[in-house]
A and B are shown apart, each in its own frame.
Chain A
Amino acid sequence: MNFTLKIWRQKSREAEGGFKTYAVKDIPPDASFLELLDVLNADLIRKGEEPIAFDHDCREGICGSCGLVINGRSHGPHKGAATCEQRMRNFRDGEEITVEPWRAKPFPILKDLVVDRTAFDRIMLAGGYVSVRTGGAPDANAIPIPKPVADEAMDAAACIGCGACVAACKNASAMLFVAAKVSQLALLPQGQAERVERAERMIAQMDAEGFGACSNTYACEAECPKKISVTHIARLNREFIRAKLI
């Protein structure tokens, strides 16, 4: 398959960026989107040009490192898949594809398609954990959790922290991300100890980082590679109000 790629190039955080057009030829339909960029980069290196910088690691949709806006969509057109899981067979032969980094103020561009997502790390630090003091191992059956509850917690835990929700949102809101983290722990007994502070502190940090507010357009749910539902945002709001009342 052949493609024309319009890719955002930017030398550094401070530098001004712009689109550059590249042609790539003979890409096997089973190649992933990142493998397409690998092929292009190998060509660029041979020509002595700087390859396109992009983040990636596991390349199987679980680490959350990769994340590109492809044809205006976070992670590209194929639903429920991270950028690394997009296969070229889902594009049209000869298609012109536009590739941009996540665009949101709290995610400054470091180079080309690489953005700084440490804002998410700081939100996690503000409460996205449970503290455990170990003693004797508890009996695994001593705290029964109903399957629907466990399933819902698992659905929230599927969040890989990639930032697609922020990039998809017109307000650059991080509500779906924070909701997934808060919801996962609020549903489980292990998360109860810090439940109140968690909701308050994570939301305060989210605001401090400059993420926008939620205006219920559900763009985040539509673009989430893990198909996380906005019902978790509803739970986050309840957790927040609960924290204010307790």
Chain B
Amino acid sequence: MDAGKVKFFPRREMLDLVVADGQARGIVARNMVTGALETYQGHAVVLATGGYGNTWYLSTMAKASNATAVWRAYKRGACFGNPCFAQIHPTCIPQSGAYQSKLTLMSESLRNDGRIWVPKKKGDTRPPQDIPENERDYYLERLYPSFGNLVPRDVASRRAKEMCDNGYGVGPTKLAVYLDFGDAIKRNGRHWIEEKYGNLFDMYHEITNEDPYRLPMRIYPAIHYTMGGLWVDYNLMSNVPGLYVIGEANFSDHGANRLGASALMQGLADGYFILPYTIGDYLATETFQSLKETDEPFQRTTKDVTERIGRLLSVRGKTPADDFHRELGKVMWDNVGMGRNKKGLEAALKEIPKIRNAFWKDVKVVGTADSLNSELERAGRVADFLELSELIARDALHRQESCGGHFRVESQTEEGEAKRDDRNFTYVAAWEYAGDGKVPKLHKEPLKFDYVKPSQRSYK
């Protein structure tokens, strides 16, 4: 940027993609200070707009993180790959009340020294320090003797949920398990723990008002990353020529699961090592019509955006957008969360359109379009979450196997582990928008493995 090659536009939100002659040629963005709609024209568009974890309302995502850019691109023809693949992180601070706006992640590294347990007795209300060693169930160590507390995120998350669902949860909400550093502190001393995890312990203390040096932490899983995203080829271009998608916004790299720190890897790989080389080829070999921001494609798209904003402001209902988002989040977490089954997914597919209809009848957006209006920003994003969520549920329903972070209750081994179905599901599900109220079209991109064969995971 200092070299003058990149220009930075703070407080702008992309609200639509401009497609001209089948090529992505620009965007329509809203200036979030003045409310003015602005158009930006180029030979290609690169989206680096992040994941859609906030569809579930409560997540470890930042509050402003949203799916509007990818969703608008989807509605302009870009396919959405594997939307149901979302990662649920096991070590988050549990929700403490209905007022809560987000969940905070405690680093994965804590599982190196912390031991996860629940009381052996159902509904045990004793404080943790009063529960003797032989009445504690270190369930991950019991179930997975060789990996113990270090099993992958999806397994640790699902087992925590299972323990709580079966009545072994702890803390005021009973939706938590203990992560205990007592042994590590005894073994290495408090100073050693402070050096290693001091900032995390402080953060936990600040949020919960409990001292994790004295009492075990309480943790519970939360939505943390979305492996799905816009479909791209090896050059990171979507099926819309000239639309590139990088980072968490695309579906590539992680498959159905994700390893720790691989988001950084993808950021570097996509943005630094791949895109600079592949986009040049597109720019050099493609022919481009001359196009101005006053031309029809920009005018038409700007008109669509203006109408959409007008629609949001004209509902004039009674309920803040956030209320619909919370309601959606609950449906998603309960039915399209850690354990998914046909009944729950079908219920979600009925519930989501109901919430969406209620939103468009009763949402209240105060303020005007031509000023700084965070409520208008929020309402637009919630409207998109209310559509994307349906696609996530649809994808989860169609994938009748368990794989990675996607656990279908119907597809499990006798020991309750994820059971793959490679014969029927070794493909990327790329969904193409077919119009509002219509079932999107499913494209299957087969996955071919030359050197490694996908197999059942085991952490015993």
Contact = CB atoms under 8 A, between A and B. Distances in A.
B323 interface: yes
Contacts of A81: 206
A121 B8 CA distance: 10
B63 to A, nearest CB: 6
Interface stretch (B244-252, B363-371, B383-391, B397-405): B363-371
A31 B10 CA distance: 30
Interface in A47-95: 48-51, 53, 56-61, 63, 80-81, 85, 87, 89
Interface in B334-375: 364, 366-367, 371-372, 374-375
A129 interface: yes
Interface in A111-139: 111, 114, 116, 118, 121, 125-127, 129, 134
Interface stretch (A38-46, A170-178, A234-242): A38-46
B372 A57 contact: no
Contacts of B55: none
Contacts of B102: 59-60
B108 to A, nearest CB: 15
B323 A42 contact: yes
A56 B63 contact: yes
Contacts, number: 91
B374 A63 contact: no
Interface stretch (B67-75, B93-101, B138-146, B449-457): B93-101
Interface residues of A, number: 44
B371 A34 contact: no
Given A42-B320, A42-B323, A57-B64, A48 B366 contact: yes
Interface string B1-45: 110000010100000000000000000000001000000000000
A50 B97 contact: no
A53 B372 contact: yes
Nearest to B100: A35
B393 to A, nearest CB: 27
Contact of A59 (B63, B99, B322): B63
Nearest to B372: A111
Contacts of A12: 371-372
A35 B364 contact: no
B313 to A, nearest CB: 13
Given A42-B320, A125-B1, A57 B62 contact: yes
Contacts of B272: 134
A53 B322 contact: no
A51 B375 contact: yes
B65 to A, nearest CB: 8
Contacts of A38: 99, 101, 322
B2 A50 contact: no
B92 to A, nearest CB: 11
A53 B368 CA distance: 13
A30 B366 contact: no
Interface in B38-60: none
Given A53-B372, A59-B62, A126-B2, A35 B101 contact: yes
A12 B375 CA distance: 16
Given A11-B371, A51-B367, 20 more contacts: A12-B371, A28-B96, A30-B96, A30-B207, A30-B209, A38-B99, A38-B322, A39-B99, A41-B320, A42-B322, A44-B366, A46-B320, A51-B374, A57-B63, A59-B101, A59-B102, A60-B105, A87-B207, A129-B2, A134-B272
Interface of A: 11-12, 27-28, 30-32, 34-35, 38-39, 41-42, 44-46, 48-51, 53, 56-61, 63, 80-81, 85, 87, 89, 110-111, 114, 116, 118, 121, 125-127, 129, 134
